[in-house]
Amino acid sequence: MDIALGAQLIDSLRIGLILLDHRGQVVSWNGWMKRHSGLTLADVAGRRLEELFPEVSGSRLESSISDTLRFKLSAMLAPSLNPSLLPLYHRPGDRQRDQRMQQLIYVSPLRHEHCACLIQIHDMTAALRRERRLRAQSNQLIETSYQDALTGVGNRRRFDQDLAQRFRQAKDKKRPIAMLMIDVDSFKAYNDHFGHQGGDACLIRVAQTLRDVLRRDGDRVSRYGGEEFALLLSDADLTAACAVAERLRLAVEQLALPHPAARSIGRVSVSIGIAAMIPTDEQLCYILVAQADLALYTAKDAGRNRCMWYDAESGIARPLPDSALAGLHSK
């Protein structure tokens, strides 16, 4: 092939090509490298990359070039593990902001009298940007699939996954886990009085209130079904769970949403069932759900707008201990 034609073809490639001699000095530097580095072959010929770009010193690229020159080994440097090894830019303005292109670099040995190492540089910026965008969209889609469409809190699928994961963690670490089962009192009557739109608005307000009252990162309310909500509390014993439950009950009551069918207080309220345990190897996670559910319906039968906790020793639900109520009603 004609030498001039070969040089023209190399300069027209859409990747960077660098040839190094046996001492690691630049022999060839194509047009792509000139455009994106701002350096011509005359600027770089006879110099080592670490002289041109001090940040190459001590990098994976420097060690890969050394291995190629000494042992004839090849290497691939992915942008995820070796971000922006060389100061290469798409536009002059990117250089001022130091927004380097993301680079995939191949280092290969050559058996030639004057050339010992070939470096190929691929611009991966657009591909990585597209990958990040797709990952963000995927994460958003997954998050949406775990969200209740009406209230915006977690849905039943979210709760089931949290339950399996957190119960297993509590079992492995021998730490307590608690569950609150929360039900909007006399919701059918509320729905009948205000209509489905009014009922939906009520559920949204209650869900937002429950979510806003939570204080710990990781505590998450999920809509269990209909007008029922569920909350798992990792690393929380019975006393802590009862205190959270009463705080939630008071917060909903203090919304003062009118409820003509609730003759006792005339406003929307919730009943809450509480269960807590340190799981053993023999126990399944749904035992916790069953215990909280039993405590909830005991609270409903006892007059609603109250919290009850499941006593595992007796197998019955009981009113909250004074330690859980201390200081709450005075706030």
The residues carrying an active-site annotation are 227
**Could you give the count of Cα atoms lying within 13 Å of 102 in the half-sphere of its Cβ?**
14
Q: What is the Cα Rg of the chain in Å?
A: 33
Q: Which amino acid is at 75?
A: A
Closest C-alpha among 154, 152, 228, 230 to residue 188: 228
Environment class of 296 (CB within 10 Å of its CB; exposed 0-12, middle 13-18, buried 19+): buried
Q: Which two tokens stand for residue 253?
A: 């009551």
N-terminal to C-terminal alpha carbon distance within the chain = 88
| Distance in angstroms (rounded) separating the CA atoms of residues 259 and 202 | 10
Count the Cβ atoms, other than its own, within 10 Å of residue 159.
25
For residues 107 and 19, is the Cβ–Cβ distance under 8 A? no
Which residues are paired to 259 by β-bridges? none
